[in-house]
Amino acid sequence: MKVLVTGNAGFIGYHLTKKLISLGYKVVGLDSVNDYYDQNLKWDRLTTLGIESNLELNQHFHNDYLNFYRVKLEDKGKVFEIFKKEKPDAVCNLAAQAGVRYSIENPYAYIDSNIIGFQNVIEACREFGIKNFSFASSSSVYGGNKNLPFSTLDRVDCPISLYAATKKSNELVAYTYSHLFGISCTGLRFFTVYGPWGRPDMALYLFADALRSNKPIDVFNHGDMSRDFTYIDDIVEGILKIIQNPAKKPKKPSESNSTQAPYKIYNIGNNSPVKLMDFINEIEKSFGKKFKINFKDLQPGDVKSTYADVDDLIQDFNYKPKTTISFGINEFIKWYKYYNKII
C-alpha cells in the first residue's frame, strides 16, 4: 500500500511517516519546509528519515521506502503532477499552517496553506480516483463550547480564531467531496499533541526552553486552564487505524444527517484533561528545576478548557489514547535534553 502524507517535516507528519515506513508501507511525502518555526528542526526530522537536508523548493528525494517532494501545496500544478506520477492508494493530509495565536498576526498564511493547499490535495484525490482520504482537523473547531467533554455531535459554528475557521472549512469541503464523489473522508480533531520532536512554538517546548535558560514563563488565565494533552504515539496509532479503515457510508441516516456519504469525524484526545499547573509541575519534576512564572490574562483566540469525547474511537476501533502525562513529559524532556545537548 502506498500512502501519500503531506506535512512530513511537521511534528505529527514526521512521526506518522516514520511509523508507516517501519510497518513496510511505501510513503510519498509532500512538505514545503516553511520557516514558521526553526527550519533546522524540520530538516533534522527529515534527516532521520534518510532525506537529504536542505533540498530546494520543487526538488525531489527518494530511497527504497520514501519519495519526498519539497513543494508548496498551494502550487496546484506541482501537486497534480505528483499525484499523477505516484498514484497513491491513500492520502493523509497533515500539512497546515498551525498555531491559534499566529493566525491573528498573519491570516493569509492560513488561507494559502489551510484553504488553498487543502483544496488542491482533495481535488487531486478526485481527479486521480483516490477514495481513501484522511485529514487533520483540530479541537480548536469547538471554539468557546461550554459543553464538556467536547463531542463530535456538538455544533461547531462559532470558531474564535482564523485557524479554527480554516479547520472547520476543511471538514465542510471534505464532507462535500465525500457526498458528491464518493471519496471516503475522515477528519481527525487532534487535542493538544505533545512528545519528542514537538513544535518549538507549543507550550511544552517553550517551557523547557525557559527552564534551560532560567527565564520566566507566561501562564495565561492565571493558570486556570486545562488541556486534553495527547501523546504523539497515541495520535499516530489513531491515524493508522483511520488509514487502514476508511470511512464507510452509514448503515442508516442519522437524525441530523440524511445523506449517505462515506464521511466521519473523530476526536483524538486523551479523554482526561490535565490542569495547566499540574502539567507545569510535571515538567519541573522531569527537568529537575523550578519555574519563575508570570501570570497573565486569557489571550484572544484561546479557550479555558479542552476535553475530548472519544467514544466513537472506542466503539469503531476499540481504541483509546492511554499514555499518562508523567510518562509523556518525561519522554519529551529526555529527547529535548539529548537534542539540545544538555548534560
pLDDT tens for residues 108-154? Answer: 999 999 999 999 999 999 999 999 999 999 999 998 788 889 999 99
Query: Is the pLDDT reported for residue 175 higher than 70?
Result: yes
- For residue 278, being part of any structural domain is answered with no
Report yes or no: 225 and 274 within 8 Å, Cβ to Cβ: no
Q: Provide the CA 171 distance to its chain's centre, in angstroms.
A: 14
CB atoms within 10 A of CB 317: 16
How many CB atoms within 10 Å of residue 105? Answer: 8
Cβ(240)–Cβ(24) below 8 Å: no
Structural domain total, the chain: 1
CB 134, CB 92: distance < 8 Å: yes
Residue 175's contacts (CB-CB under 8 Å, 6 or more residues apart) are: 185, 261, 263
Total-model pTM = 0.94
pLDDT beyond 60 at 250: yes
Lowest mean pLDDT among 17-21, 91-95, 151-155, 334-338: 151-155
Q: Alpha-carbon distance 92 to 13, whole Å?
A: 9
Catalytically active residues are 163
In a domain, 119, yes or no: yes
Percent of the chain clearing pLDDT 70 (strictly above): 98
Asked if residue 167 is part of any domain, the answer here is yes
Could you tell me the end-to-end alpha-carbon distance of the chain, in angstroms, rounded to an integer?
42
From 173, 194, 278, 159, select the one nearest 15 (Cα to Cα): 194
CATH of the domain at 86: 3.40.50.720
pLDDT at 271 over 90: no
In a domain, 198, yes or no: no
Q: What is the pLDDT of residue 255?
A: 52
Q: How many CB atoms lie within 10 A of CB 338?
A: 10
Q: Residues 62-107: pLDDT tens digits?
A: 988 999 999 999 999 999 999 999 999 999 999 998 877 778 888 9
Residue 294 lies inside a defined structural domain of this protein? no
Q: What is the pLDDT of residue 253?
A: 64
Q: Does residue 100 belong to any structural domain of this protein?
A: yes
Find the domain containing 46 and state its range: 2-190+231-271+307-322
Query: Are the C-beta atoms of 109 and 97 separated by less than 8 Å?
Result: yes
Does residue 288 belong to any structural domain of this protein?
A: no
Which residue(s) pair with 227 in the sheet? 274
- The CA–CA distances, whole Å, from 200 to 10, 11, 85, 209, 239 equal 11, 10, 34, 9, 23
How many Å apart are CA 1 and CA 245, to the nearest integer?
13
